[in-house]
Amino acid sequence: MKSLSIPSIVKLNNGQDMPRIGLGTAGIKDVAIIVYESIKDGVRLIDTAECYENEKEIGEGLTRAINDGIVKREELFIVTKLWVNRKHEAEESIKEQLASLNLGYVDLYLDHWPMPIYKSKNGEQKAVPAHKVWRQMEDLVIKGYTRSIGVCNYNVQSLMDLLSYAKIKPVVNQFEFHPYLNQINLVKYCQANDIQVMAYNSICRGGYVSKYHSHVNLNLLEEEIIKEMAEKYKTNTGVIALNWSLSQGLIVIPSTSNPRRMKENLKALDFEMSAEDIENIAKLNNGYRFCGSALFKQFSGGVDVFS
């Protein structure tokens, strides 16, 4: 059994350091308090997005933590995203988001959805090719609004296309990854091209799971293999679920409405799971996606376009 700890920082392809574990904020309650308490407990990575409708509250938590002297701005790594109906106006979008977050810049800005055709906020039909979206994203780096840029939910084909014209390479691809949805070929492609993988829904819980999939009888933390690994590594099942992704070189962003849970989640860095144990947990793979774009028919037309 491996016992070596996992490095808490990863080096991005532009030389920037990024924490390996952070707080995901989609659908969590009392987010300003959770952000503040998580930072007190050692979390330095916070992930949000315009469509989460919580950037103002996150900004309150960040500002309070900085003003209380718990952390300096440069010690934090803040991630937010360009929502699908703002792809024609990325600079306007990030300016509004920075104002809500009360920040002068973010550390990473992601293209949230790989969709070139959509309806804008005022309902107007828009078609913005991916290369034009990415040029706007690159301009945000040049103008200092964000230090890095990346993507969400891009599959291999979308990444291949992006890499054919990108002047600034994406540093991260954020997509759903857990034992039920083991997208190993996509992970391998990202890693082969020096793009870090940021996994969401690592524990298969959270707001959109309960909202859209309460009928599904899947509970990762109650799987026998997960409980066996928790006993073997002397920890809890949530930590095992996070460590499974971390041990494969990924970044994780579990969400929680419990102000003390993130301190516990950080323990997932304390050990590295063996290759055999990783493989055994991977046998749970059934291709089940908890967060599919087909849920948002106003943008996707009911077709799943995610990776």
Mean pLDDT of the chain: 93
Residue 213: what pLDDT? 60
Rounded to an integer, the average pLDDT of 233-255 is: 97
- Determine which of 9-18, 100-109, 111-120, 269-278 has the lowest per-residue pLDDT on average: 111-120
Backbone phi, psi, residue 280, to 5°: -65, -40
Residue 17 domain boundaries: 9-300
DSSP string, 56-78: HHHHHHHHHHHHTTS--GGG-EE
Residue 205: what pLDDT? 76
In this predicted structure, the answer to whether residue 230 has a pLDDT above a threshold of 50 is: yes
- Determine which of 32-41, 206-215, 266-275 has the lowest per-residue pLDDT on average: 206-215
Residue 38 lies in a domain: yes
Q: Is-catalytic flag, 212? A: no
> How far apart are the two ends of the chain, measured CA to CA in Å?
33
The 10s digit of each residue's pLDDT in 276-285 is 999 999 999 9
The 10s digit of each residue's pLDDT in 139-191 is 999 999 999 999 999 999 999 999 999 999 999 999 999 999 999 999 999 99
Residue 83: what pLDDT? 94
Rounded to an integer, the average pLDDT of 239-252 is: 98
The 10s digit of each residue's pLDDT in 76-106 is 999 999 999 999 999 999 999 999 999 999 9
Residue 306 lies in a domain: no
Residue 302: what pLDDT? 74
Q: Check residues 141 and 307 and name the one with the higher pLDDT.
A: 141
Residue 218 lies in a domain: yes
Q: Check residues 287 and 214 and name the one with the higher pLDDT.
A: 287
Residue 305 lies in a domain: no
Residue 119: what pLDDT? 81
The letter for the amino acid at 297 is K
Is the backbone of residue 278 left (phi > 0), alpha (psi -120 to 50) or beta?
alpha
- Residue 220: closest CA among 170, 253, 169, 177: 177
* Active-site hit among 52, 118, 180, 233: 52
pLDDT band at 34 (very low <50, low <70, confident <90, very high): very high
What is d(CA 222, CA 205) in angstroms, rounded to the nearest whole number? 12
pLDDT band at 221 (very low <50, low <70, confident <90, very high): very high
Residue 191 lies in a domain: yes
Residue corresponding to tokens 């550390």: 107
Tokens of 205: 């819980």
CATH code of 106's domain = 3.20.20.100
Residue 197 lies in a domain: yes
Burial class (CB in 10 A: 0-12, 13-18, 19+), 238: buried
Residue 3: what pLDDT? 55
pLDDT band at 298 (very low <50, low <70, confident <90, very high): low
Residue 101 lies in a domain: yes
Residue 143: what pLDDT? 98
The domain tally of the chain equals 1
Rounded to an integer, the average pLDDT of 30-35 is: 97
Residue 195 lies in a domain: yes
Determine the 3-state secondary structure of 110 from DSSP. strand
What is d(CA 4, CA 270) in angstroms, rounded to the nearest whole number? 7
Residue 1: what pLDDT? 47
What is d(CA 163, CA 174) in angstroms, rounded to the nearest whole number? 16
Tokens of 208: 């959109």
